[in-house]
């Protein structure tokens, strides 16, 4: 088990970045919402197996909930990774609810359209893991 793995709905302690197996990339995501105009902006960073920067991305979404923004940024990150032909991807999000929606097969998620889009994009990869990471461990995406 590694730092950030979801175990019984809880994230294991630890905030230090750990190297990945060869061929893997990690997508750290973040989304935010302006309190003045309700516009959401999302972005993230793709890192190689040794923690080296590969790419960053961002997108202005317009008005949406912070939960939808957290799903949108996962979708955006996966689309960038697909365009760059990465095959094995770990997606880290500091939104536990989003990670649970993507790993729970019950279909009990109030943003099923976005979840379906993410599921479709995930099929282009050899392997995709979605992990919860505490905000303190996700500073690279802030």
What are the C-alpha distances in Å from 9 to residues 14, 26, 88, 100?
16, 21, 24, 8
DSSP alpha helix (H) spans, the chain: 66-83, 96-103, 112-122
Domains of the chain: 27-134 (3.30.420.10)
Q: What is the pTM of this model?
A: 0.82
Cβ neighbours of 18 (radius 10 Å): 10
User: What is the pLDDT, as a whole number, of residue 6?
Assistant: 43
* Helix H or strand E segment including 55: strand 53-63
For the chain, 142 residues long, the average pLDDT of each consecutive 10-residue run is: 44 59 94 84 94 94 91 97 98 94 76 92 97 70 42
User: What is the pLDDT, as a whole number, of residue 104?
Assistant: 78
Which long-range contacts link 13-22 to residues 24+ away (Cβ below 8 Å)? 14/137, 15/134, 15/136, 15/137, 16/137, 17/47, 17/51, 17/137, 17/140, 19/49, 19/50, 19/51, 20/48, 20/49, 20/50, 20/90, 21/49, 21/88, 22/49
> What are the structure tokens assigned to 41, written together?
């902006």
């Amino acid at each position: 088990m590694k730092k950030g793995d979801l175990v019984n709905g809880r994230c294991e302690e630890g905030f230090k970045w750990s190297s990945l197996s060869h061929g893997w990339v990690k997508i750290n995501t973040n989304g935010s919402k302006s309190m003045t105009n309700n516009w959401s902006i999302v972005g993230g960073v793709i890192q190689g197996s040794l923690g080296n920067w590969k790419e960053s991305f961002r997108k202005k979404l317009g008005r949406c909930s912070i939960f939808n923004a957290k799903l949108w940024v996962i979708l955006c990150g996966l689309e960038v990774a697909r365009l760059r032909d990465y095959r094995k991807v770990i997606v880290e999000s500091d939104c536990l609810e989003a990670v649970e929606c993507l790993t729970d097969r019950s279909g009990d998620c109030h943003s099923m359209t976005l979840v379906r889009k993410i599921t479709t994009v995930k099929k282009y990869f050899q392997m995709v893991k979605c992990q919860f990471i505490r905000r303190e461990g996700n500073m690279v995406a802030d």
